[in-house]
Structures are given as structure tokens and as C-alpha cells.
Structure 1
């Protein structure tokens, strides 16, 4: 059967869909699927500076691009190149043998058993946040701000250990500047060189220099002290310095910095978005929240959770998965077709930019009845049976799937369990506007009321 020609979304005669993509990218993606189907070509920009993007919305197409035909789709598109310029050549953007070598060295540090060692650090930071809420009166919270602060503290403590406080301040100051700068450059058809001293270039260069200097200093300190796991040092940076495999040389100082930057970006932004919307949705759906809390309290009582408790609290995982379905932190995953390819029956020309789109696939009515409705029970085993593997892929898939998926889920499950153990959340915001950067996030405060509950409250904890 011959491949089908990809339909083109309607747009303005001269500018195509560029204004729609800038005003409402997520809505533009959804409208393209509704009007044209599961593979759609979107044209953006004036003649001579025009971009052509092939969007893939089906689960089968996502699986082909990310997994079964991954060799045909490379991560060397314009946006990925901009990411490499900003955040270095770490796992997020490295290619070919560089990527394979980095993955071989780092994979042993991110097994399910290994990341369980960080549970106490995660729980400490959740307790610290709860203490701050209580000090402020314990009646209200801004989930957007507070989940961001929590996740930055968690990743900087795990990555840098005793240096976490200093690092957290730098990350919260610099990462948003660099994320938005990189996104804008990745979407523009033409950019001035970064060396041109425009205000945007200067702000980004200053933020990048501050982050680089922070990581370089910590690496130098650990090298100078000869830190090793045998010395009792267990922060992730020390483990990265000591990472070895039978076939690979250790990471250089520059590679260490690049990996640290990737973990800071992914470990703060994506986890914060998922936790913000998980707690917001629970706050808006009191029946689901109460059932989930009942499971948490039946499992834990007043004690701190451990990794071994998580399998006994499947409602926590379902609540997280449904939030990540509705609000996948990375709304698109970008590739470039290395050769002519066929995706879900459609012809994709070599050199094309291909956007696989969790935001739309997660709302596809073929896989998700009433897709806009919040319903964590979708993830009960009996309802998930027969659903395509790539109907839900907020952490990517295939050979470039997120290496930190076990770590991210551990953090989020522990955090949700502990927060529900202590408080009942009542949502104040019916609709939360979305800001689209390298990841999505709430565009403003996400307010909620807090009411102490459970045995911890009764004990005065």
C-alpha cells in the first residue's frame, strides 16, 4: 500500500500558522488533529523563512518515531541544537556514540533499587515544606510556587548534597531565563548569533555563566578532595564522578557539568509541573482525594513512607498518571527525519521536523473516552488492558526514554502520599492557564486551602 500524503493544516496565505502557534500552541495542535487526522503538516513563517513541521498524534505513530523506527528519527533538529548550546551535550541532547556511552555509564545510577536510596532526602524536603506552611499559618498554599521550590530543593540536595542551599537559589534564578530563551531561539526561523550583545543574549549568557560556574566549582571541589562512595559521600555528583563501565572512559569535567545541568533541568521543571497539577486536580476532586488519602492512611498511619510502601498505594500512582496524562510536562518531543520514512501510513520526507505530541495523544478520543475528564480510575489494570503502549508516554519512550523515570516517580509518589497524610487540599482555581516553555507550567498562582487531617494532625505533627 502506497504511503498517504500528509494533509496540511490551514493557515494565513503569507504567514501560515505561525501566529496560531505563538498565541496558542497547544490549542493549535489539538485543532490540527480534529480537523485533519493523526499526521498533519503545519507550515509556519513567511516565504523564505518558512518552517514545515510534521505532527504525529497517534499512539502507533509515536511508537514508530520514538521506538520501532527510532534510527530514522534523530535528535538533531534546530530546537535540540539550541538545547545543546544552552545546557551542554548531556543525555538530553547528545547523539550517537556520545549518547550510548553516557547512557552506559549513568544507567546503573538510576535503577529502581538505586534511586530508592534517595527516599529519605525526598521525605525530608516534603516535611520541610509542610513546616513552612505551618509557620505561615497552615491555611493556604500556592501549588505552582511551592511545588517548584520543593522539587528544586529535592534535586539540588540529591545532586549536590551539602551544597544544596546555594545551588537551589541559583537554579531557581537561572533556569527559567535559560528555558524561555532556548525555546524562543528553537522556534524562530532565523536568529542572531548568541555573541551579539542583545538584551536577551546578555541575560541568557549571564544565567548560563552562573550555572556553569556553580557546577564547575562543585566538581573541582570533589576532585580536589578525592571524594568517593567509599568515603561515605553519596550525592549524585560524586557518583557521577566515580561512574565506570568496562568499555568506557570516565566522564570528563565538562561532561559532568553537562549531565548535572540536564538533571537540574529535568529534575526541577518536569517534576514540579507534574506535582502542581496532581495536587491541583486532587484539590478540585474531593472524592478522589479522600479515597486516595484513605489508602495512604491505611498503609502508613502516622509514619513516614518508604519505597517499600508504594506498591500498597496504587491510588497515589493512578492520581499521578492521570495528572501526567492531562498535563504532560513535555507537550511535544522533537525529532528530524534522517531519511524518507512512513509513519502510521503517511509519507514523511527526509530532513523534515517531526513533532510527536503527548499533549494531543493523551487527549485522543480513540484511547481515552471523555478525554478532558479527570478520572484516575482509567489506570486500573482492568481498564488499561488493550490500550496502546504509546497512548500515554509523558516520560518519552524507546532508546531515548527518560533515564530518570524511576527517580521521578519515586519523588512524586512519596511527595503526594506525605502531603495527603497531613492535609486536605481544597482548590481555589477552577481553570489554570498554561505557559509553554521547554516544558509546560502553570502561568500564575495555583491557590488552594489547607486543612490538617489524619493521625499526624491529631498527634500535633
Structure 2
């Protein structure tokens, strides 16, 4: 039972090492760590991470309780703890990272939210499709004489980041800048676990990796500053109907607030690109699904660039994207802090406790998903989806603090899949088999490799 009833059991604590708790095991083992503690302790555990402690919950009903049903008790994200200890120096107080659901958060949501509503999204889609077309038309393929293999993460990242910059900033971003942001983001993500420990050390004190993290943050800030500086006449000449978030933001935000929103918006590109890359990899390994998706694309588009209204006629492709986001969600976990004492499934959660909703564990929970590790887009057919808990699939979070750009991201991912399947046939790389990560912001070092062959014209 989840709610305010009296606690009936004690929460198990996972702690392996003195001082460091279970953090070394979590860093070293990642996926198997969660599988083992779920098998040993169930859906709710207390994680001793040395400098901090977290209660991790991993069932859809827990997500419903924390993010929706009792969300008023969880309006605080918990400050610089957990992953936030690493990310807050980068994102600051952008909409996605503001600590408390207060007037400041509501005003920022009112400022940013309209850019992602249905009407604005419809106006953006045609231009978004043109940008995607430019960046998916010339991928290296086996017929080009190159090595018969392609790491799809860099070209997909280029397509996603370009669309985000031009559509949301109203300014172009070049390939060199995209590469800089991608490498810096990977450096920051590699520091993420260590950053938990670093949060207990004064900022002025030396700590392994801290200097490189600060340098990576500086790189991203410089790129964002340069892109924003290019806004101007080129914006209106290219696409006058598009929403430019920063134009509205400049009228209401100071320099620091503008910087935080600009950086936060850009950083959504990398995790989305990795999830879409995994969708292509999964299609490469499941030729029946790839054939079904391509048949749908060919029938609807007949070789032309997709429009907004075409996406509703590509339901199977959207199911493929949803299944990829289930297996590799953009976010690792969602963190909240309990304002008052609470009880979740008979477990006491004292006031002040940081609670994390484990998205990747919810997405593979055996009570919810049949054969959860298997790729099956048909899980998201309407007749099957309506039988599941509504919080069983939450790649963009949920509730009032759910990602404001959810439909923008889904539309962009949908377009990339449609336009790549128009041009290429994908198969597994003959020598490189990447291992799926539990979340897209834990970027695999080896990339997402597959073989792409250009389809015959017509």
C-alpha cells in the first residue's frame, strides 16, 4: 500500500563499504547492481552513498504516489545531492533543475511552456523535417567504400542538436560546436558518480576530475554564448513562423537566468540522440520490426519529406521509438525530497528524505512488462498499452515537473527514424556489438555501431 497509513516494515539499507557506502559497487556494476538489489530487497531500498543517502523506489505505483498522487509532499528536488551535485553547476536554475515548485518555477514554466504546445509544435515540424533531411542524407554507408560500420550517435546527435539550436534558439550551430558540446557532456557524465563524493569536499579544494568537469562546463557555456550571439536577421529570414524561446526570455530574465535556460535546452539533445541511436540499433537487430517500420514509412511518405500530419499515420514507428525509450530512457532517475513524513508501500519515509524514482527499473519491472529485456514495439499498441499502469512508461518524468519538451522530443525522434529508414537499410555491425545502457545520459564509450546501406532510389 502506498500512502499515509502507518509503516509496517523497515526499509532495507544497501551499504557495502565504510565511508563510501554502496557507491563503488554502483559505479562499477551499474546494470547488474540494480538487478541484484531488486532481487535481494524488492522495490524499495535505502542507498548509502557515503556522502548522502537516498530512498530508491522502482514500481509504477511508487512513481504515481511521489510524482502525482502525493506530489505536494515532493515539490523539492533535494538541492545539490545525488546526480544533481554534478549537474547543477552546469544547468544552474533552468526550468528542469529549479529546486522547488514555487512562484519562480511557475513563472519560468509559463515562459518556456508555450513554445512546446501543440500549435507551436505543428508550426515547427516542417522546418524540423528539413533540418533532419539535411543531416541524414549523407551518412557513410557500405557502398561508399568506407569501413562497413557506422557509429550512429554522432550523426544523430548532429541532427538533434541542429534542430534544437535553430528551432529553440533561433540561431544555427556548426558541426565543430556540436562536437565540443558532445565531448564536454560526456566528460560531465563520466564525472557524475564521482561528483556525488566531490559534493562533500569544499569547492576550493582539489578533487579528482573536478578541474576537468569545470573545463567541460566552460566549453558548453562558451558554445551557448556564441550560438546565442548569432541570433538576429538570419533567424527571421530562415523561418519567421518558428517560436524563439530566448526572445521571450530576454525580456524577463537576467543574464544568469538566460544562461541557465539556454544551457538546459541544449543539453536535452545528447540523451535524446542516444535513445534514437539505440532505436536504430534495435531495428538493425530485429529485421522484422525494421521491415514493418519501413513498409509503413514508404506507404505514407512515398519518398517525400514528412509533414506534421504524416506522423499520426506512422503509429508503428512511434511504437518503435517508445520501446527504445523504454529500454534506454533519456533520464536515469527522478529525485524529490519529502517535505513531511510519508509511507510508501508500508515503508516509512521521514521528512527530509531524498527519494529517487528509478525510471530504468520501472521500465523493466517484471510485474509490469512481459519479457522486459526483449525488444517488442507492439507493447505500445493501444489495446495493450491501456492495460498497463499509466506510470509504467515515464522516460520524460511525470506529473507537474515532467519534461516540458516531451512532445517536441518525440516528434524530433519520430522524424529522424522516418527519414533514415527512407534512405538506409540497417544491419548489425559484424564486429562491434554495443551493450545497451540503463539510461541515455550514461553514454556508452564505444558508441552505437551498425552497418548502413543506402536504399535504391524509388
| Root mean square deviation, CA, Å | 2.9
Range with bigger deviation, 274-283 or 431-440: 431-440
| Structure 2 residue aligned with 1:114 | 120
Is the aligned partner of 1:43 residue 2:42? Answer: no
1:300 to partner: Cα distance:
0.7
Is the aligned partner of 1:4 residue 2:8? Answer: yes
Judging changes above 3 Å, is the alpha-carbon distance between structure 1 residues 430 and 315 closer, same or farther for their aligned structure 2 residues?
Answer: farther
Alpha-carbon contact 2:11-2:347 (below 8 Å) kept: no
Partner SS, residue 191 of structure 2? helix
Partner SS, residue 40 of structure 1? strand
| Structure 1 residue aligned with 2:333 | 332
Is the aligned partner of 1:180 residue 2:228? Answer: no
Partner SS, residue 262 of structure 1? helix
| Structure 1 residue aligned with 2:265 | 263
Alignment of 1:388-399 (within 5 A): 388-399=389-400
Alignment of 1:49-64 (within 5 A): 49=51, 51-64=52-65
Alpha-carbon contact 1:341-1:349 (below 8 Å) kept: yes
> Normalising by the residue count of structure 2, what TM-score does the alignment of the two structures yield?
0.87
Range with bigger deviation, 143-152 or 300-309: 143-152
Alpha-carbon contact 1:273-1:440 (below 8 Å) kept: no
Partner SS, residue 458 of structure 1? coil
Alpha-carbon contact 1:183-1:438 (below 8 Å) kept: no
Which has the larger share of helix? 1
1:38 to partner: Cα distance:
1.8
| Structure 1 residue aligned with 2:93 | 89
Range with bigger deviation, 23-32 or 415-424: 23-32
Range with bigger deviation, 437-446 or 287-296: 437-446
1:227 to partner: Cα distance:
9.7
Alpha-carbon contact 1:174-1:208 (below 8 Å) kept: yes
Is the aligned partner of 1:458 residue 2:454? Answer: no
Alignment of 1:56-205 (within 5 A): 56-73=57-74, 74-77=76-79, 78=81, 79-80=83-84, 82-94=86-98, 95=100, 96-119=102-125, 120-133=127-140, 136-137=144-145, 140-165=149-174, 167-185=177-195, 187-188=196-197, 190-196=199-205, 200-205=209-214
1:233 to partner: Cα distance:
5.2
| Structure 2 residue aligned with 1:383 | 384
Range with bigger deviation, 366-375 or 393-402: 366-375
1:230 to partner: Cα distance:
10
Alignment of 1:275-354 (within 5 A): 275-354=276-355
Partner SS, residue 343 of structure 2? strand
Judging changes above 3 Å, is the alpha-carbon distance between structure 1 residues 301 and 438 closer, same or farther for their aligned structure 2 residues?
Answer: closer
Partner SS, residue 242 of structure 1? helix
Judging changes above 3 Å, is the alpha-carbon distance between structure 1 residues 160 and 293 closer, same or farther for their aligned structure 2 residues?
Answer: same
Range with bigger deviation, 377-386 or 124-133: 124-133
In structure 2, list runs of 5 or more residues that go unmatched: none
Q: How many residues align?
A: 443
Judging changes above 3 Å, is the alpha-carbon distance between structure 1 residues 231 and 309 closer, same or farther for their aligned structure 2 residues?
Answer: closer
1:218 to partner: Cα distance:
4.8
1:209 counterpart (218, 224, 227): 218
2:36 counterpart (27, 31, 35): 31
> Normalising by the residue count of structure 1, what TM-score does the alignment of the two structures yield?
0.87
In structure 2, C-alpha distance between the alignment counterparts of 1:424 and 1:293, rounded to whole Å: 9
